[in-house]
Amino acid sequence: MLDESSRPSALATLAAPTIPPDRRDTLTRILLGLRLDGVEYGRCLVRAPWSLRFPAQRDARFHFVASGGAWLRLPGSDWLRLDPGDAVLLPRGSAHALASAPDLPATDIAALPRVPVSEQVYLVRDGTADDGQAPSDLLFCGSMRFNLDPLHPLMALMPDLMRAGELALRDPGVPALLDAMEREVALDRIGSCGILARLADVLAASIIRAWVECACGDATGWLAAVHCPDIGKVLAAIHAEPERDWSVPALAELMGASRSRFAEAFTKTVGESPARYVAKVKMFQARHWIAQQGMRVAVAASRLGYDSEASFSRAFKRVIGQPPSAVRAPVPARHPM
């Protein structure tokens, strides 16, 4: 979803930061492993005054203001005005409020009536929208699921809130997607909700790509390591094949350095030893398999090269902080946007 398969336009060349081809390829290889899929979406019709509370959740949240307007607030932050055509992504599903004006009493989003429109898409109305009068505001809100573990370095670096408008100059595809969503809402044709959901998935991926590119100029920590010509290709290889037995000699050979020089450079740039980083990536992958795909612990242990389920479980608990059995997801239940 995040693969840059098309040739950038002249505007993209001017707006996006200049990233050397080798470093851009490294970043692309890591981002190719990132998938973002819509879990469910809601077309929300509300009339001022209104205020909705969105509790924290594991999945990412997405909001697109189709008409009217809204104010958004994260706990401990100031209110942020969202105008028609604005879109925001909350990659970690942080708790927040959306309202027609700041400081109104909030209603939990789960309390609003929901009517199925199509698979994974619902019509959500507040009580005032049922009295025959036109709603003042139209929002398209959704929940999205990353295939990455929440502790993945890329996820940990993301801000709580990403706003499409602030990233639009970095990626000319963002305004085009916003325009397409506005047109789809205005036309209100058959199947528009499903098309909006797919556009939202692509828009969210584009927001993340633009954010990564924005961070390239003054990157530190993990992003700096990704852009390091020597260490970056090592990181890309680890993330591309977490199941492989990545020994220090193998990684040093990939970098084209001695074991001692590689280990020293990796630890200095990434902030932890190669062995520790490989173990974390393996456990992040294992938690995704077990929590999201329902894989049996024994199968995950075998795929990652562990001799026994017991040794895998000890390594898993050491990295994740709880045993594999504790992260297995229950039967999925529908949750509000």
Q: Which helix H or strand E contains 206, and what residues bound it?
A: helix 192-214
Q: What is the DSSP string of 279-334?
A: HHHHHHHHHHHHHHH---HHHHHHHTT-S-HHHHHHHHHHHHSS-HHHH---S---
CB-CB contact of 216 with 227 (8 Å): yes
CB-CB contact of 335 with 122 (8 Å): no
Per-residue model confidence as pLDDT tens for the chain (337 residues): 333 333 222 223 223 444 444 445 556 666 655 667 778 888 888 889 999 999 999 889 999 998 889 999 999 999 999 999 899 999 989 999 999 999 999 999 998 888 887 777 888 887 654 555 666 788 889 898 876 666 677 777 788 998 887 766 667 778 888 888 888 877 767 777 778 888 888 888 888 877 776 654 445 567 777 777 788 889 888 888 889 999 999 999 999 999 999 999 999 888 889 999 999 989 988 988 888 788 999 999 999 999 999 999 999 999 988 999 888 765 545 555 6
Residue given tokens 């058959």 in the structure block: 190
pTM: 0.69
